[in-house]
Structure 1
Amino acid sequence: MLYWSVVCLIIAIIAGVLGFGGIAGAATEIAKILFFIFLVLLVVSVVVNVVRGRGPKV
């Protein structure tokens, strides 16, 4: 999911440089939404692992 967030951000930057403001804005919003979903899932995963007593896999 973080990969797709970065892809959308790169598309937004390229579209902005080329003057496509609408596409750049839409891609930026998609990148922000995906990034925040990634952060929420990361926090949930860390909390679940702490509650279950598991440490990180080494």
Structure 2
Amino acid sequence: MARAGLSPAPRRSGPTWKQFLTAQAQSIIATDFFHVETVSGVRLYALFFIEHATRRVHLPA
């Protein structure tokens, strides 16, 4: 890019990724879905949600 006469973009003055994610942690919810095979051959499924701010796990009914 330097050979083409393009200089790098100016540094942004906003928050870092860590600061941004920390500020947004109150509203970030992760989800996961998995299955396991039991000894009897029955497949069980699980869906759950995790609140990042409190690390609280929610299992839908």
Q: TM-score, normalised by structure 2?
A: 0.23
Higher relative contact order (CA closer than 8 Å, sequence separation 6+): 1
TM-score, normalised by the number of residues in structure 1 = 0.23
Question: Which is richer in strand?
Answer: 2
